[in-house]
Structure formats: C-alpha cells, structure tokens
Amino acid sequence: MDVLVVGSGGREHALVWALAASPLVSRLYCAPGNGGIADDATCVPIAATDIDGIVRFCRDNRISFVVVGPEQPLTDGLVDRLEAAGIPAFGPSAAAARLESSKAFTKDLCVRHGIPTARHAAFTDAEAAKRYIAGQPLPVVVKADGLAAGKGVVIAETQAEAMEAMDAMMSGQFGPAGERVVIEECLIGEEASVFALTDGKAILPLAGAQDHKRVGEGDTGPNTGGMGAYSPAPVVTEALLSDVCARILRPTVDALSAAGTPYKGVLYAGIMVTARGPFLLEYNVRFGDPECQVLMPRLKSDLLPALMATRDGVLDSLDLRWHDDSALTVVMAARGYPGAYDTGSVIRNLDAAAAVEGVTIFHAGTERRDGEIHATGGRVLNVTARGRDLAEARARAYRAVDLIEWPQGFCRRDIAWRAERPRQGVA
C-alpha cells in the first residue's frame, strides 16, 4: 500500500517511523515532512493545510491510505474531503473534530451528557466576561475557545490577571480563536492523558503516556506544546483508565454517533485526577505531541492495521500489543521558545547521538540544507529512548542529548520526574 502522512512535526516523524516498519507499506510519503522525516519517507512540499493540494497528490499518486497528524487540517475538513474523493483516511471529520476546535462545543456536550468537567461559562462579550470573573473564586482559568497551539490557557491567580488575559485573547492575541473566551473553575489534582482509538463504536485505549506542558523544570513557567513525555505513566492506572472510559470516553463517543457525526480516529483526553475522580480538561482529536513519540516506540503491533480498522469501523476485532520497555522523550527547543526564537541554526553530531543504545531521534522542526540539519521551529528535536524502565530510558535519552551540538537549543533536564514512584501504570 502507498501511504501518506500529513504533518511536519515530531509526532508525524514518529508515525512515519512506525509505518515505515510495516510490511504492508510499499511507498511512504509525508506532506510536507521535515529534515528527519526525509530519512524514512519521501517528503512532498505540500502544506498540511493545503487541502486541495493533498487531495490532488493522493489522486495523482494513487494513495491508498492517509494518516492525518495535526488538528488544523482535521478541523478544516481534510478527512471529509479525502473520503469524498474515495481516499480512505485516518482521523475525525470536521464535525467530530469540534471536540478540539471548540472548547465551548465540548463543554456543552459534557453538560448535556453528565461528563465530569470544570464548571464553566463562555463569553463573546468582554464586559459580561468581566462581571462573571469578578464573581469567581481564585485561581480562575481563562481559555481562548479555538485552536491556539496549547498556549491559549491562563491560570490566573488574581482577578486582575484574569481580566488582562481575557482582554489579550479578545483583542486578537490568538486571532479568531480568542473571539470567544471560556472561563473555568480551576481543578486541583494530578494531570493525566488518556489516548484511545475509536471507530465510533469500540474504544481501544492505548498505553499510558504523560507529557510536561510547562517550559521550566519542576513544571514551572509558561505552557508550551510539550517539553517531553514518558510511557508508561504511573498516574494512568487500570482503575483510572476504566473510570475515564466509562464516565468520559464512552458517553462522548456515543453522543457523537447519536448526533450523526461519529468520531473515528484517536481521541486524546486531558484529565485532571481530582479527589472527586477524573475530570475532563480538554479533548484533542489527534495523537499528543510529544506523547506519540513515546507510544510508537513501545507499540509492538503493526500500526497500519490499527489505523485502518479505526477508519473501517472494525476496531472491535483488533488488539494491540506493547513492549514492556519504558520510553521517554526529551524535547530540544530553540532558545526563547515558547516566546520568540531564532531559526536557521545548525545542529551537529546527531548521528553519534542516535547511536546511543535504545535511542531514536525524531525531528520536530528541522530541514536538511547543504548536507546539514538546520532548526526551523520552536520545538526542534525529540530525543527518544527505550529502556528496561524509565530510569534507564532517561539516562540513555540525556546521554544522547549531551552529544548533540546545538548551542542555540535547550531542554528540560527533569523529564519524568513525577514518575519516580514505583511503576504501576498500564501497559
């Protein structure tokens, strides 16, 4: 089969890497890909958001299956367009992708179906939002309604901070994503991510994985797209997983199917484990980035049949096997990220780093130019390692990080610090 992966980040590199190992795949393409993906797939210079361009490429090249990585093309209806053109594709329709593209949509669904989530109110009017904020206990959470690359959330400790965040969002900091603002109760507890494949009927949870959203060590500083991840995640226990499936995923999947917009794809639930049980923080309609980079190395089964069964609606006939090993990834980002950063710097000695036992380097924002790898984004490399346990995976990943010559980059040195307790996570 000839397969196309859409996207250009570390998540897509991990998907490409896993698909490249499938005996079912003959030709593997990635649009647009990056400097590292080019080692495992043929990169084609079509932007992930260029829906016409992608459909045309698939027709011209008789692509038999498309795997869409990022949320933006899903939200824009890429899967709808591909399917309408007779090209099978993995990922939710635009209607189902509203679970991520509109926080207000998801909140309404939760309220209607009794899914535990933070109390909230949505506003398009700044004055009404301010009056509401004034009546809320602190801290209070202020969110841009639409897609904002993981950065549209402020946990405000004071009323003034909350008002300021709301003003910034409504005055266009995140473009149209901030035209509507959601104000939420702040939940206290430990965060967990739950990933599951679903075809609109069956729900197949994946191995547990956890990321680090804050830029600074000890999980401090501004939110980012994710600075590292590990799997298994001790917080994702069997008990938590069955609770999340029963109270959160099952009613969501059933509600979307009943509405005539079944969800097919990977559903990523951001959970807060509170004293009152798991609460839904948010849904994402795609694999986590960088969580995907630790799930793929642990996946023993062939990825392609799982993605195809999800799309074909026969997921109940499928089972996934996982390696017992742990996996951990360290994100190397350009200095300044998640604020302003420079691009174009040269990264050296990647081959030596990739030769460390158990290590695979996924590229997130690079290009190969004149035989050298250049940084092109904020998050640039995902230095990933497998090991007997998280401690071994972590030692290997940082050994590789220390071999990489890239003075313009930085990383957190404490990935998986919350997982230092004895292992109990699932899979």
Cβ nearer to ligand GLY, comparing 29 with 268: 268
* Contact between residue 208 and residue 427 where contact means Cβ atoms under 8 Å apart: yes
The one-character DSSP state at 303 is H
Q: Which does 184 bind (CB under 5 to 8 A by kind): ligand GLY, ligand AMP, none?
A: ligand AMP
Cβ nearer to ligand AMP, comparing 54 with 118: 118
Q: How far is the CB of 197 from ligand GLY (least distance, A)?
A: 16
Written as one letter, the residue type at 195 is: F
Pick the binder of ligand GLY from 50, 145, 291, 367 (CB under 6 A): 291
Cβ nearer to ligand GLY, comparing 133 with 229: 229
Distance CA 143, CA 165 (A): 9
Instruction: Please give the residue whose beta carbon sits closest to ligand GLY in the complex.
Output: 226
Q: Which does 187 bind (CB under 5 to 8 A by kind): ligand AMP, ligand GLY, none?
A: ligand AMP
Structure tokens that stand for 416 in this block:
């998986």
Is 288 an interacting residue with respect to ligand GLY (CB under 6 A)?
A: yes
Cβ nearer to ligand GLY, comparing 123 with 337: 337
Cβ nearer to ligand GLY, comparing 33 with 226: 226
Backbone φ and ψ of 150, nearest 5°: 75, 5
Backbone φ and ψ of 421, nearest 5°: -75, 165
Q: Which does 35 bind (CB under 5 to 8 A by kind): ligand AMP, ligand GLY, none?
A: none
In the complex, the residues that contact ligand AMP under the rule CB under 6 A are 118, 141, 143, 150, 153, 155, 184-187, 191, 213, 223, 270, 281-282
* Contact between residue 17 and residue 39 where contact means Cβ atoms under 8 Å apart: no
Distance CA 136, CA 159 (A): 9
Q: Which does 400 bind (CB under 5 to 8 A by kind): ligand GLY, ligand AMP, none?
A: none
Cβ nearer to ligand AMP, comparing 138 with 355: 138
Distance CA 49, CA 51 (A): 6
The window from 257-265, 282-290, 315-323, 387-395 that contacts ligand GLY (CB under 6 A) reads 282-290
* Contact between residue 303 and residue 240 where contact means Cβ atoms under 8 Å apart: no
Q: How far is the CB of 185 from ligand AMP (least distance, A)?
A: 6
Is 367 an interacting residue with respect to ligand GLY (CB under 6 A)?
A: no
Locate tokens 């200095």: which residue?
Answer: 335
Q: How far is the CB of 421 from ligand AMP (least distance, A)?
A: 20
Is 12 an interacting residue with respect to ligand GLY (CB under 6 A)?
A: no
Q: Tabulate helix, strand, coil % of the chain (nearest 5).
A: 35, 30, 40
Is 329 an interacting residue with respect to ligand GLY (CB under 6 A)?
A: no
String marking each residue 224-263 x if it binds ligand GLY according to CB under 6 A: -xx-------------------------------------
Q: Which does 389 bind (CB under 5 to 8 A by kind): ligand AMP, ligand GLY, none?
A: none
Beta-sheet strands, E only, within 26-139: 27-32, 42-43, 65-68, 89-90, 120-123
Distance CA 298, CA 207 (A): 8
Cβ nearer to ligand GLY, comparing 67 with 308: 67
Name which of 155, 140, 149, 141 is nearest 175 in CA terms: 149
Pick the binder of ligand GLY from 80, 145, 289, 302 (CB under 6 A): 289
Q: How far is the CB of 36 from ligand GLY (least distance, A)?
A: 18
Written as one letter, the residue type at 380 is: V
Pick the binder of ligand GLY from 77, 88, 150, 251 (CB under 6 A): 150
Cβ nearer to ligand AMP, comparing 104 with 315: 104
Distance CA 293, CA 267 (A): 16
Cβ nearer to ligand AMP, comparing 191 with 325: 191
The one-character DSSP state at 55 is H
Distance CA 369, CA 89 (A): 31
In sequence order, which residues have a C-beta less than 8 Å from that of residue 289 and are 6 or more positions away? Answer: 9, 10, 11, 69, 225, 226, 364
User: Exposed, middle or buried by CB within 10 Å (0-12, 13-18, 19+), for 277?
Assistant: middle
Written as one letter, the residue type at 202 is: A
Residues within the interface to ligand GLY (CB under 6 A): 150, 211, 225-226, 284, 288-289, 291
